Amino acid sequence: MSTSKGKKRIKNIPVLHEQVKEQHSIMLTPITWKKLQALAIDADKSVSEYLETLIRQVNCD
């Protein structure tokens, strides 16, 4: 994953976004989870970061 290599992360200080991430949960079928993992791997991101990027691209004006 390409996320600020060489920079020390400090707890509760946002690195990639303007806010610190919080833990949330969603329920997915095993097939959907596997597909999501594959998409994230192809994008060279974690599943969490892949979803964050995908959702931030949606325009909800």
Residue 49 lies in a domain: yes
Residue 2 lies in a domain: no
* Residue 51: per-residue pLDDT: 93
In this prediction the pTM is 0.67
* Residue 56: per-residue pLDDT: 86
User: How many Cβ atoms sit within 10 Å of the Cβ of residue 40?
Assistant: 19
Q: How many domains does the chain have?
A: 1
Residue 39 lies in a domain: yes
Residue 9 lies in a domain: no
Range of the domain at 32: 27-61
Q: Which long-range contacts (CB under 8 A, 24 or more apart) does 40-46 make?
A: 44/1, 44/2, 45/1, 46/1
The backbone torsions φ and ψ at residue 38, rounded to the nearest 5 degrees and listed phi first, read: -65, -40
d(CA 39, CA 53): 12
Residue 32 lies in a domain: yes
Residue 44 lies in a domain: yes
Instruction: Tell me: pLDDT of 1 over 50.
Output: no
Helix (H) or strand (E) holding 31: helix 30-42
Residue 10 lies in a domain: no
Give 19-56 pLDDT, tens digit per residue.
777 889 999 999 999 999 999 999 999 999 999 999 98
